[in-house]
Chain A
C-alpha cells in the first residue's frame, strides 16, 4: 500500500538559515512524488515534482528535493529561509499501480523566525 510519512509536524528556523523538511514514502517501483505548499486560508500550490527523470528536482522559490530510492525519501530543502516561506508543506505520492490517486502526508508547519 502507498503511504507518506512526514517526519516532523512542525519545524522552526531562523530567517536566512537552511530549511529541511523530511518525507519518507512507501510505494511501488515507479512513484511520482510532489511537494505542495499551503499558505493560510489558501489552496495548495505545487512546489516541485519528481517523475522518474533527474533525482535532484528544483522547484519554485529556491526549493529543491532529492529522490533517494534506497532510502525511500524525498526531503525538501532550501538554502536560506525567507519570512514568506512560513506555511504548511505537504509531501504527496502517486504511482501507476493505484490509478490516478494521490496520497498526502499529514503536513509540516514551517515557522520562520525573524
Chain B
C-alpha cells in the first residue's frame, strides 16, 4: 500500500544493544523526519533530511545516527541503546517546504 510505513512497530531491547528503526515512504517526498514522543514533551525532532544524502540534526540528536542513501528510506539507528531512549518514535515525510507532514504509525521502543 502507498504511504509511510515504520518497522518494527514494537521492539524490546537491552541497554547497550544497537537498534535500527526503519522508515519507508512511497510518495518520493524530499523531506523526511524522525521524532520521538514522550509524555510531557510532545514531539521532539531527532534528525531530518531534505533529500537523499542530506541530513541534519534536530533538537535531540545525541545517541542516534541516520542515513538516507535512497529518497524513500530513512533509517534511524541507536548505536548503543540507553534506558532514556525508551520512547515512541515517529517517522514523517513532506513533499514541500513548510507543507503537511505525513506520519507513520510509530515504533514503540523499550530499552531494559
Contact = CB atoms under 8 A, between A and B. Distances in A.
A102 B40 CA distance: 17
Contacts of A43: 90, 103-106
B90 A44 contact: yes
Interface stretch (B13-21, B61-69, B72-80, B94-102): B94-102
A51 interface: yes
Contacts, number: 50
Interface in B34-48: 35, 40-45, 48
Given A43-B104, A44-B101, A96-B98, A101 B42 contact: no
Contacts of B35: 104
* Interface residue tally on B, bucketed by range: 20 to 34
A82 interface: no
A95 B90 CA distance: 21
B81 interface: no
Interface string A96-112: 10001110111100000
Contact of B48 (A49, A101, A107): A101
A96 B99 CA distance: 11
B110 to A, nearest CB: 15
Interface in A31-82: 32, 34, 36, 41-46, 49, 51
Interface string B82-112: 0000000010101001101101111000000
Contacts of A36: 101
B87 to A, nearest CB: 14
Query: Which of B44, B94, B98, B104 is packed against the most chain A CB atoms within 10 Å?
Result: B98
Given A43-B90, A106-B41, A100 B100 contact: no
Interface of A: 32, 34, 36, 41-46, 49, 51, 90, 92, 94-96, 100-102, 104-107
